[in-house]
Amino acid sequence: MRRFLFILWIALGLTSLWLFVRLLAVNRDSHWRVAVSQCGHSNWRNAMDEEIRREAEYLGTMDLTFAYAGDNSRRQSEQIDSIVASGVDLIIVAPNEREGVTDAVRRARKAGVRIVVIDRRLSAPEYDGYVGTDNFALGYSAGVYAAAYLQGKGTVLEVCGLKGSSPAMGRHSGFVAALSEYPGIRLIGTVEGRWKAHDAVQAFDDAVEDKGMPDLVFAHNDEMALAISDAHTNLQHRLHIIGVDGLDGGLDGVASGRLLATFVNPTGGAKAVRKADSLLHDRRIQRDCFIPAEIVDGKNERVLRQQMSVLNRRQAQIDEYSERVAQYIRGNAAHDIVLFATVFCLFVVVGACLFIFRAYRAKTEAHQRLKETNGRLAEMNDNLASANERLAEAHATMKEQYDKIRTQRDQLAFFSQELKETNDSFEALLRDVVERNYADPAFDVEQLAEALCITRSQLFRKVKALCDTTPSQVIRTARLRHAAEMLATPNITVSEVCYATGFSNPSYFSKVFREAFGCNPGAMDAAHQQPAQEGDGH
């Protein structure tokens, strides 16, 4: 009897410990402490912060804190030192200037804190990962666009950001390199607008007073570009200005004619959080990640705005569905605890019943030996009846829990249907983007992911889950399907079909076409043109 009770109490103790550990797992907080050192505030940087918060919330592994330096490098360095002293695991740094915070970042790395630099570069590679725009390429594209718009002749004024920052330096270098290829384009000056509207207008006015009104202005962000445009609305001829950022204000400026064009400059916030998560989990990463910028002018502004509107609505729906699923999971976890507690109570009751049964059997054997134990048997019968009542109550409790679980299962089916509809919408958008870009030889998985506003790894997982294939296979299948349709058209060559469907190598085109359709494209072309040749013979 003592051995049985000992085993019973051991089992009860282990069950209680397991329930306690599970309760801690349900209510545990974020594990990693991550700080964001932001150089200042602007519409573009506010969008970056929101993207960082959303991605960190999606991952659910980070506890974020933000520090804002007010565009002051010395203050940002002091904030980084303070953040390191507070004991964080990683810092996402948006530097104010190349030189200003490099020493503080170096001290943070020596203290064992991992660093992800976003947007602006440091003067030394004192970081574990970098995410930012290829600013030289952006500036070069702006120079090419300006030269094309001016038809190779005219004067240009550049209004750069903070000259000590890497975006301003990269965009200036690329812009100058592009203009050097057009002898008829003259850069009359480069002034510092420090990313601010007031400073940009003042610097522009001083430059105009000194060197005259330019034919075109390249401003390093939309805030400066719009401020210059709004300050000179009374000019006889419209001022042609190119901006950078491509947020709602910049797109409105292009739509209203206040800006000639702007470059969509992604913030990279989500990519920085993903890189930080990989570093915290000791996964191998590509150290530097450059994000391409795209030009937006009157030709594509409306299409881009519609696409952004659709994606924003989809993102809002995804956020809503994610919150619903999270609430369901939390609620289901709480129901699991209740269920486990009920099972624990039932286990206690069963143990008690086993104990009563053994006692009853011992008393029965004693009754067979001694008839004087009738009173004790009656008492044991009363105890057994009480135990049966407790068992009935436990059964009713279990039935109630079963009804709750069935209700949760119905809710899960409803959420699954909503998630399926979202996946169908994503698949339709995927195929639409591929159909519109299959003829572009440069269109690849990276551009497909950018068009859908998701990362390449997210794109791969979604396409694999929805289509049981890879994004590159989806693109190639669309191209081959259109190639087969074009080969059915008379008087068209295989080479023409190859280049028209986005293939740059006829040999590779023939190889993948043969793998897909079991015959060479030439054979299919000949099969469709044979009747025409026979008709010419008659």
- For residue 443, report the phi and psi dihedrals to the nearest 5 degrees: -75, 120
Report the distance separating Cα 244 and Cα 252, nearest Å. Answer: 13
Residue 217 — very low, low, confident or very high, per pLDDT cuts 50/70/90?
A: very high
Q: What is the pLDDT of residues 155-169, one digit of tens each?
A: 999 999 988 788 899
Report the distance separating Cα 494 and Cα 382, nearest Å. Answer: 95
Report the distance separating Cα 183 and Cα 31, nearest Å. Answer: 58
End-to-end alpha carbon distance in the chain: 108
**Residue 537: its pLDDT value, please?**
40
Q: What is the pLDDT of residues 390-442, one digit of tens each?
A: 888 888 888 888 888 888 887 787 777 777 777 778 888 888 888 888 888 88
Residue-averaged pLDDT of the chain: 83
Reply yes or no on whether the pLDDT at 207 is more than 90. Answer: yes
- Give the whole-number percent of the chain exceeding pLDDT 70: 83
**What six digits make up the tokens of 236?**
């006889």
pTM to 2 decimals?
Answer: 0.50
Q: What is the pLDDT of residues 519-535, one digit of tens each?
A: 888 777 666 655 444 44
Query: Is pLDDT larger for residue 66 or for residue 379?
Result: 66
Q: Provide the residue type at 473 as one letter.
A: Q
Q: What is the pLDDT of residues 76-85, one digit of tens each?
A: 999 999 999 9
Q: What is the pLDDT of residues 231-279, one digit of tens each?
A: 888 765 778 999 998 776 788 888 888 899 999 888 889 999 999 999 9
**What six digits make up the tokens of 409?**
């299962």
How many Cα atoms occupy the beta-carbon half-sphere of 135 within 13 Å?
22
User: For the residues 509-527, what does the mean pLDDT come to?
Assistant: 81
Using CB atoms within 10 A of its CB, is residue 368 exposed (0-12), middle (13-18) or buried (19+)? exposed
Neighbours of 381 (CB within 10 A): 11
User: For the residues 203-230, what does the mean pLDDT come to?
Assistant: 93
Reply yes or no on whether the pLDDT at 311 is more than 60. Answer: no
Residue 208 — very low, low, confident or very high, per pLDDT cuts 50/70/90?
A: very high
- DSSP at 440: -
Reply yes or no on whether the pLDDT at 104 is more than 60. Answer: yes
User: For the residues 221-230, what does the mean pLDDT come to?
Assistant: 92
